[in-house]
Amino acid sequence: MTSLPTRNIGPFTVSAIGLGCMNLSHAYLPRPDAADAERLLRHALDVGVTFFDTAALYGFGANEELLGRTLMDRRDEFTLASKCVLGEIDGKRGLDGSPAAITRVLEDSLRRLKVDYIDLYYLHRLDPKVPIEESVGALVRGIEAGKIGAIGLSEMSAATLRRAHAVHPIAAMQTEYSPWVRNPEIAVLDACAELGTAFVAFSPLGRGLLAGNPNAANLLPGDIRGSMPRFQQPHLEANLQLIAQLKGLADQADCTAAQLCLAWLLAKGDHVVPIPGTTSIAHLDKDLATLSRAWPADLIAAVDDLFSFDAPSGPRYPREAQAQVDTETWAGEPLV
């Protein structure tokens, strides 16, 4: 196992770039077969990734099972994160932030992961029917029972973070953050820095589109991105033109567009930890190579200038998914 630069999430020291595991089992197509997914996970650990992120939602438990059978013989080498609240309800995606549901899903996650302890356990979404204090309280009881190490939130606002933090310190906030989704800069990124909460950036490569992944521009039927307005015409064509300019910046800097996006995120604060997902070992290695070079401030500033808040075309979520997030929106942001 090699070592990478590190950052802190609560009591844990993790590789400065982690691995989002969702697309090995869920949401995006094509998916790798089991052997390839297992090979990628083992390779990530071998090359120094020490932060792996999964959730009960992903594949309705299949992703947790994948990690459980693949990595747990090396359990002491990495920090494990999973999530509850957003998951399978009567065979469909749904929210249940009640303490009883959280307790039940935690037990299911422990079983699927083949562990008795999850380092970082997130509330995947805010359930508007349940006060955040009650949901956090259920996780505090998980800590007291020795089943959880630290508490995280996902896709929530600065105000909700502060309410949750008043109940128990919140180790991490996980939210979509990339050059084309800059909503965390409205309030929650600064709130995290103030409270000592790490900010975990999911989809740091624009769900593959910013990285130039051809699968992201030519989606297969059933790929969840097909429901997202930014991947639909006429928005897609406008966004591809914007991304071509990003590639131009990357070419001038002799790097990949993915590396430039990751460098941009890492420059946003020492408390920011991106978790790109990939099904390709080659892409993973290139992403991690971001950590091995210096990035000039003027190049990072050029990405800022290119991706103003209103530069991308279209909302980031369809109506139903947007209704399940608690994140801040900027004035004039298209939401439907």
- pLDDT tens digits, one per residue of 261-289: 999 999 999 999 999 999 999 999 999 99
334 CB-near residues (< 8 Å, 6+ apart): 229, 314, 315
- Domains by residue range for the chain, with CATH: 6-322 (3.20.20.100)
- pLDDT tens digits, one per residue of 317-329: 999 899 999 999 9
- pLDDT tens digits, one per residue of 27-74: 999 999 999 999 999 999 999 999 999 999 999 999 999 999 999 999
List active site positions.
Answer: 58
Looking at the chain, list the stretches that DSSP marks H as alpha helix, in order from N- to C-terminal side.
34-46, 62-70, 99-113, 132-144, 158-167, 188-195, 214-217, 235-252, 257-266, 281-288, 297-306, 319-322
pLDDT of residue 91 exceeding 80: no
Global pTM reads 0.97
Count of helix runs (H) and strand runs (E) in the chain: 12, 12
pLDDT of residue 248 exceeding 70: yes
Two structure tokens written together for 76: 């002491």
Cα 257 from Cα 148, distance rounded (Å): 36
% the chain with pLDDT above 70: 100
Q: How confident is the model at residue 336 (pLDDT cuts 50, 70, 90)?
A: confident
Judge contact between 152 and 139, C-beta under 8 A. no
Separation of CA 65 from chain center: 19
- pLDDT tens digits, one per residue of 209-245: 999 998 999 999 999 999 999 999 999 999 999 999 9
Q: Is the dihedral of CA 84, 10, 294, 298 positive or negative?
A: positive
